[in-house]
């Protein structure tokens, strides 16, 4: 079907917008390399330094005006409320007068100050490099401690409560939240470099006193840290430097035309990102019908939302490369679990919400490996093989049960999954594991969280991993996921796989063709259970912690939402639906939380947004899961 005239018009307008944004973005990058821009940035730096020092003078004048106002008001016998109002009024009047006096003259060229600031900046660079290295090492240790504390807190909760587990989002929060550097202690070398800054700082402060005669000597020590923060703003790239100076109002150093050029240079990456968004929107409008037919509405909407989140992440200065690293990590971590839904749908049992019976098998085999202090690849393969062996008879019996309850598989599987989780909340307290790393310090039973770091935690993630353009690729994790997908793809093209898919698609036709539909349903259910056992082992090693008790309860819902978003229905699914759906679901979840927290300055929305986004996507996927499947 050819695009309509209205589609051509809308696409044309969006294309013109994309070209305009692209031109402006490219021009911005060209401006960054021009000497005039470098000169303007230096003037911004000098202005920011002067503004910071003048701000201290203005603040002193403001405070002194309030003190004088209070003394006068008391002498005039003002009431307490009148004194407060009068102090505020006089303070604000004094502040405005001082700002007009000092800030309006900061743009004047001062060669002496410029040279002094440049000298101080050069002295500061060596100190900054060492400080950054030491703080990075401190931050890594701090995050590990936060993750360990979070896991310990989760494991100490009362068994049987909903709060006894910790999600990967909570664990991941320790890697993205602002590091508390209150406990940071500089090394002797760093302290010596800090003291060596004194002569350069004294020279800069002398130049400031010449530029601002009202700057008092006692302000010298108080202004040292603020001035260091301003001067070192030029060490983190063009955007960070511009933002650091602009935060002090340094745009006041420019004429209107120069202010526009500097703003275009600053927004160059964002303009290119918006151009990409506009171009994507133009193509989407123009080829809406073909995209809808090939992708299906759920995938089309979620893909558009994912692209929008990527654009917003760039506009909010979120580390997009770092977030893509997280998305790849989560895709590999959850991928095998989502794959467990595939054979169940193909066999005709619909969404296998009872995949937790397989998850329990994987957890038991992993516990055996941990009980015997197994480590490395041996522990991983032992857990996988043990999980498969345990899951085979469980899956067979589970499949027999579903064959007796045809037509109500999704409801029954959900109840079975929840029941098994609840049953094993008791079993984890009774199973004869003795390793003190696994059991409670007091009493009996297994703890709810187990650190995989001493066994095979992050084994797949670190295998052949590499970094490109700031994106860390967990090669081993993704390869294992793709290997599992490839095996499942081969099986679906085997004689048994074709018979299973035929039985699930149309049981009567398959029976007429000689296919034992009940047998195929049992095979599909068993394979789904086995994949779930392997999936939880992959998840646990990647997450770094194994969760018992209520930990596996929600795995079925997350896996179901991923495969549905990928384009599957409750009656038809393919391997491609698993791969695409897992990436999109985890991408929207990871980016959505960060964009929401950046958009709302108050923050603290991680858990709220995780619930809203994940449950919202699941609801949308389920409402769109009816009807015919899509390729």
Three-state DSSP at 597 gives helix
CA atoms within 13 A on the CB side of 250: 26
Cβ neighbors of 422 (< 8 A, separation 6 or more) are none
pLDDT, position 601: 55
Spans of the chain below 50 pLDDT: 155, 157-166, 171-176, 626-631
Query: What are the φ and ψ backbone dihedral angles of 451, each rounded to 5 degrees?
Result: -75, 125
Q: What residues pair up with 451 in beta bridges, in sequence order? A: 545
pLDDT, position 250: 77
CA distances from 550 to 263, 436, 453, 553 (A): 52, 21, 22, 5
Assessment of whether the complete model's pTM goes beyond 0.85? no
Query: Torsion over CA of 95, 101, 104 and 106, rounded to 10 degrees?
Result: -100
Taking the C-alpha atoms of residue 74 and residue 549, their distance in angstroms, rounded to an integer, is 68
Domains and CATH numbers, the chain: 111-235 (no CATH), 330-577 (1.10.3470)
From the list 191, 184, 202, the residue with the least C-alpha distance to 120 is 202
Instruction: Quote the distance between the C-alpha of residue 439 and its chain's center.
Output: 33
Instruction: Give the CA angle between residues 111, 117, 119 to the nearest 5°.
Output: 105
Helices (H) and strands (E) in the chain, counts: 26, 4
Cβ neighbors of 530 (< 8 A, separation 6 or more) are 358, 387, 388, 391, 392, 395
| pLDDT single digits (tens) 477-515 | 999 999 999 999 999 999 999 999 988 888 888 888 888
Taking the C-alpha atoms of residue 614 and residue 560, their distance in angstroms, rounded to an integer, is 12
Query: What are the φ and ψ backbone dihedral angles of 473, each rounded to 5 degrees?
Result: -105, 115
CA distances from 445 to 163, 183, 238, 364 (A): 18, 37, 56, 14
pLDDT, position 606: 53
Burial of 255 (0-12, 13-18, 19+ CB in 10 A): exposed
Three-state DSSP at 451 gives strand
Query: Torsion over CA of 264, 268, 273 and 279, rounded to 10 degrees?
Result: 70
CA distances from 607 to 323, 590, 597 (A): 17, 12, 11
Within 10 Å of residue 244's Cβ, how many Cβ atoms? Answer: 21
Taking the C-alpha atoms of residue 342 and residue 530, their distance in angstroms, rounded to an integer, is 12
The tokens of 28 are what? 């911005």
pLDDT, position 614: 61
From the list 101, 103, 98, the residue with the least C-alpha distance to 63 is 98
Taking the C-alpha atoms of residue 452 and residue 380, their distance in angstroms, rounded to an integer, is 11
Within 10 Å of residue 425's Cβ, how many Cβ atoms? Answer: 18
Cβ neighbors of 551 (< 8 A, separation 6 or more) are 165, 448
CA distances from 279 to 16, 19, 268, 588 (A): 9, 8, 16, 21
pLDDT, position 605: 52
Q: Where are the alpha helices (DSSP H) in 267-407?
A: 268-286, 288-295, 297-315, 320-339, 341-347, 356-371, 376-403
């Amino acid at each position: 079907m050819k695009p309509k005239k209205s589609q051509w018009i809308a696409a044309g307008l969006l294309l013109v917008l994309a070209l305009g944004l692209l031109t402006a973005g490219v021009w911005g990058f060209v401006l960054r390399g021009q000497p005039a821009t470098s000169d303007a940035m230096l003037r911004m730096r000098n202005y920011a330094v002067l503004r910071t020092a003048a701000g201290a003078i203005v603040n002193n004048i403001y405070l002194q005006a309030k003190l004088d106002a209070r003394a006068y008001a008391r002498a005039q016998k003002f009431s307490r409320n009148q004194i407060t109002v009068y102090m505020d009024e006089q303070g604000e009047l004094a502040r405005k007068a001082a700002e007009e006096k000092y800030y309006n003259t900061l743009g004047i060229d001062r060669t002496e100050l410029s040279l002094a600031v440049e000298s101080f900046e050069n002295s500061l660079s060596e100190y900054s490099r060492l400080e950054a290295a030491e703080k990075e090492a401190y931050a890594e240790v701090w995050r590990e401690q936060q993750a360990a504390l979070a896991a310990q807190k989760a494991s100490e909760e009362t068994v049987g409560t909903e709060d006894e587990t910790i999600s990967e989002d909570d664990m991941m929060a320790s890697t993205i939240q602002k590091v508390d550097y209150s406990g940071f202690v500089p090394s002797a070398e760093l302290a010596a470099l800090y003291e060596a800054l004194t002569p350069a700082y004294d020279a800069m402060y002398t130049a400031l006193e010449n530029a601002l005669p009202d700057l008092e000597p006692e302000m010298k020590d108080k202004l040292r840290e603020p001035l260091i923060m301003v001067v070192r703003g030029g060490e983190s790239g063009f955007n960070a430097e511009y933002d650091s100076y602009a935060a002090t109002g340094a745009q006041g150093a420019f004429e209107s035309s120069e202010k526009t050029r500097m703003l275009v240079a600053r927004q160059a990456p964002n303009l290119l990102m918006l151009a990409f968004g506009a171009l994507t929107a133009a193509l989407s409008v123009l080829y809406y019908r073909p995209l809808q037919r090939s992708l299906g509405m759920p995938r089309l909407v979620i893909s558009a939302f994912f692209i929008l989140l990527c654009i917003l992440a760039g506009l909010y200065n979120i580390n997009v490369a770092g977030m893509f690293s997280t998305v790849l990590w989560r895709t590999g971590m959850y991928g095998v679990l989502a794959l467990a839904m595939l054979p169940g749908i193909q066999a005709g049992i619909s969404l296998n919400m009872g995949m937790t019976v397989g998850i329990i098998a994987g957890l038991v085999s992993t516990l055996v490996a941990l009980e015997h202090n197994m480590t490395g690849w041996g522990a991983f393969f032992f857990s996988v093989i043990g999980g498969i062996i345990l899951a085979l008879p469980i899956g067979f019996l589970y499949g027999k049960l579903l064959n007796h309850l045809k037509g109500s598989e999704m409801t029954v599987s959900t109840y079975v999954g929840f029941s098994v989780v609840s049953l094993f909340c008791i079993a984890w307290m009774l199973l004869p594991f003795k390793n003190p790393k696994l059991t409670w310090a007091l009493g009996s039973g297994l703890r709810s969280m187990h650190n995989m770091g001493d066994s095979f935690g992050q084994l797949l993630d670190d295998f052949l991993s590499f970094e490109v353009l700031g994106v860390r690729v967990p090669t081993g994790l993704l390869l294992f996921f793709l290997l599992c997908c490839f095996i499942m793809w081969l099986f679906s093209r085997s004689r048994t796989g074709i018979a299973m898919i035929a039985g699930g698609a149309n049981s009567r036709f398959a029976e007429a063709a000689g296919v034992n539909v009940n047998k195929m349903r049992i095979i599909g259910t068993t394979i789904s259970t086995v994949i779930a056992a392997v999936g939880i082992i992959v998840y646990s090693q990647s997450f770094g912690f194994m969760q018992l008790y209520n930990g596996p309860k929600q795995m079925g819902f997350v896996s179901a939402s991923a495969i549905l978003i990928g384009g599957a229905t409750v009656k038809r699914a393919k391997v491609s639906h698993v791969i695409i759906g897992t990436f999109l679901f985890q991408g929207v979840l990871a980016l959505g939380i960060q964009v929401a927290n950046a958009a709302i300055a108050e923050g603290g929305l991680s858990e709220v947004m995780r619930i809203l986004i994940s449950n919202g996507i699941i609801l949308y996927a389920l409402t769109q899961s009816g009807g015919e499947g899509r390729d």
